[in-house]
Structure 1
Amino acid sequence: MKHSTTPQTRRGHRGGPARRIGRTLALVLPVVMVLSGTLAVTRVNWSGSPSSSVLAASDVSAAAPVKAVSHAPQDVLRDRLMSELQDKNPGVVLTHLQQAVNGHPSLARHCSSIARALGQAAVRIYGASRAQSYARPVCDTAFASGVLTAHS
Structure 2
Amino acid sequence: MNYTARRIGRTLALVLPVVLVLSGTLAVTHVSWTTQGSSDSTLTASASDASSPAGADAKNKRRAPEEVLRTKLLSELQEKDPGIALTHLQQAIHERPSLAKHCVSLARSLGEAAVRAYGPNRAQSFARPVCDTAYATGVATMQG
Whether TM-score is above 0.5 comes out as yes
**Post-superposition, which runs of at least 4 consecutive aligned residues in structure 1 deviate over 2 A?**
46-49, 64-67
- Please state how far the C-alpha of 1:48 moved relative to its aligned partner: 9.8
- 1:138 maps to what in 2? 130
Question: Identity of paired residues, percent?
Answer: 60
- 2:7 maps to what in 1? none
Count of aligned residue pairs for this structure pair: 96
- 2:99 maps to what in 1? 107
Q: 1:47 to 1:76 in 2, by over 3 A?
A: closer
Q: Which amino acid aligns with 2:84?
A: V
- Unpaired runs of 5+ in structure 1? 1-43, 50-63
Q: 1:142 to 1:48 in 2, by over 3 A?
A: closer
Distance in 1 (alpha carbons) for counterparts of 2:116 and 2:75 = 13
Partner of residue 91 from structure 1, selected from 83, 88, 102? 83
Distance in 2 (alpha carbons) for counterparts of 1:146 and 1:47 = 23
Distance in 2 (alpha carbons) for counterparts of 1:47 and 1:140 = 24
Output the aligned Cα RMSD.
2.8
Q: 1:48 to 1:148 in 2, by over 3 A?
A: closer
Map 1:10-29 → 2, pairs under 5 A: none
1:119 and 2:118 correspond: no
Distance in 2 (alpha carbons) for counterparts of 1:70 and 1:126 = 32
- Please state how far the C-alpha of 1:47 moved relative to its aligned partner: 5.2
Distance in 2 (alpha carbons) for counterparts of 1:47 and 1:93 = 13
Conserved in 1, the CA contact under 8 Å of 2:46 and 2:72?
no
Query: Between Structure 1 and Structure 2, which shows a larger proportion of helix residues?
Result: 2
Return the index of the structure with the highest Cα Rg: 1
Q: 1:72 to 1:101 in 2, by over 3 A?
A: same
Q: Which amino acid aligns with 1:112?
A: V
- Unpaired runs of 5+ in structure 2? 1-42, 49-54
- Please state how far the C-alpha of 1:46 moved relative to its aligned partner: 2.2
TM-score, structure 1 normalization: 0.57
> Larger deviation: 113-122 or 85-94?
85-94
> Relative contact order, CA 8 A, sep 6+: which one is greater?
2
- 1:46 maps to what in 2? 45
SS of the counterpart of 2:45? coil
- 2:3 maps to what in 1? none
